[in-house]
Amino acid sequence: MLIIQTSFIPVAEDVEENRAMFGIIICGSGNGAAMTANKHQKIRTGLCWNRETAQLTRQHNDANILSLPARFISLELALEMVDTFIETPFEGGRHQNRVNKIACS
């Protein structure tokens, strides 16, 4: 399930509590949204600005929320990035150790 909301906190909570597998958040630069969401346990938000960064944030960081910078990307690119993010699996392997270190204790 994918949930898109206009507020960052409910998206992070839905992903954190397994009500959604992925979330998409949008703000002007994407930075504030990403920082807000990343305060939640189990959340790994990737701020992405093209299809390659959307792919890599999933492959290498197992990101579960995509943050989009609305002021800097077109609607067409945003939709392509969402598709890429959702369709790209986490590679695991050598990346798993880094992902394990992300969580706050």
Q: Which residues are catalytic?
A: 27, 60
Residues 93 and 105: their CA atoms lie apart, in Å, by 23
SS3 state of residue 6? coil
H helix and E strand count, the chain: 5, 4
For residue 94 the two structure tokens come to 């050598």
Query: Could you tell me if 14 and 23 are in contact, meaning their C-beta atoms sit under 8 angstroms apart?
Result: yes
